[in-house]
């Protein structure tokens, strides 16, 4: 019985040693390069949607009060140290800053600046840039698109 145990232990040590030699010869795999923050290959393929705070603000009109009400969603991706699960906290922590930036941006517009599709696309780009600077200043995340859920001018 002791002889079988001794032989079994010897075989186990020999197999383990040979496995270490094979792994050592193969080397440690190099980490996969992900690119620099801000480049498309840095971000994961998983996108997520983050609802933005609703905004209702008077437009820059002197004749009669005109307001715009916007509800929107930001479509984002993350990379580097961030995971998708970390992002709701980033947006909720920055909600006051996001709201302020959007109110200042939209409040500077006139009705002519927000009525037509081209102007709305420009507004989306401006909103995206503002949110990017507030939520992801280190470029570990990227705001890819703004989707309007409601856009009302009265």
Among 147, 148, 57, which residue's Cα sits nearest to residue 109?
57
- Model confidence, pTM: 0.74
Q: Round to whole Å and give the CA distance between 108 and 110.
A: 7
Domain coverage including residue 10? 1-30
Q: Round to whole Å and give the CA distance between 113 and 92.
A: 29
Q: Are residues 147 and 93 in the same domain?
A: yes
Residue-averaged pLDDT of the chain: 84
pLDDT at 3: 64
Element (H, E) at 55: strand 55-58
pLDDT digits (tens, 9 = 90+) for 42-81: 888 888 999 999 999 999 888 888 999 999 999 999 988 8
Q: Are residues 73 and 21 in the same domain?
A: no
pLDDT above 90 covers a percentage of the chain that reads: 51
In a domain, 131, yes or no: yes
Is residue 148 scored above 90 in pLDDT?
Answer: yes
pLDDT digits (tens, 9 = 90+) for 22-50: 555 555 545 445 678 878 888 888 889 99
pLDDT-derived band at 117 (thresholds 50, 70, 90) equals: very high
Compute the half-sphere exposure of residue 128: CA atoms within 13 Å on the CB side of its CA. Answer: 18
Burial of 24 (0-12, 13-18, 19+ CB in 10 A): exposed
Q: Are residues 134 and 64 in the same domain?
A: yes
Which are the contacts of 111, defined by CB distance < 8 A and separation ≥ 6?
A: 59, 61, 66, 153
């Amino acid at each position: 019985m002791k002889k079988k145990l001794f032989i079994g232990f010897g075989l186990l040590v020999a197999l383990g040693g040979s496995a270490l030699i094979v792994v050592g010869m193969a080397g440690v795999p190099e980490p996969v390069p992900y690119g620099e923050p801000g480049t498309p290959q840095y971000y994961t393929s998983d996108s997520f949607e983050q609802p933005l705070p609703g905004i209702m603000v008077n437009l820059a009109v002197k004749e009669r009060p005109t307001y715009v009400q916007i509800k929107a969603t930001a479509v984002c991706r993350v990379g580097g140290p961030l995971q998708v699960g970390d992002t709701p906290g980033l947006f909720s922590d920055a909600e006051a800053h996001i709201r302020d930036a959007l109110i200042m941006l939209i409040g500077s517009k006139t009705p002519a600046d927000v009525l037509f599709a081209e102007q709305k696309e420009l507004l989306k780009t401006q909103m995206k840039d503002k949110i990017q600077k507030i939520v992801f200043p280190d470029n570990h995340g990227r705001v890819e698109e703004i989707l309007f859920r409601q856009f009302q001018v009265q």
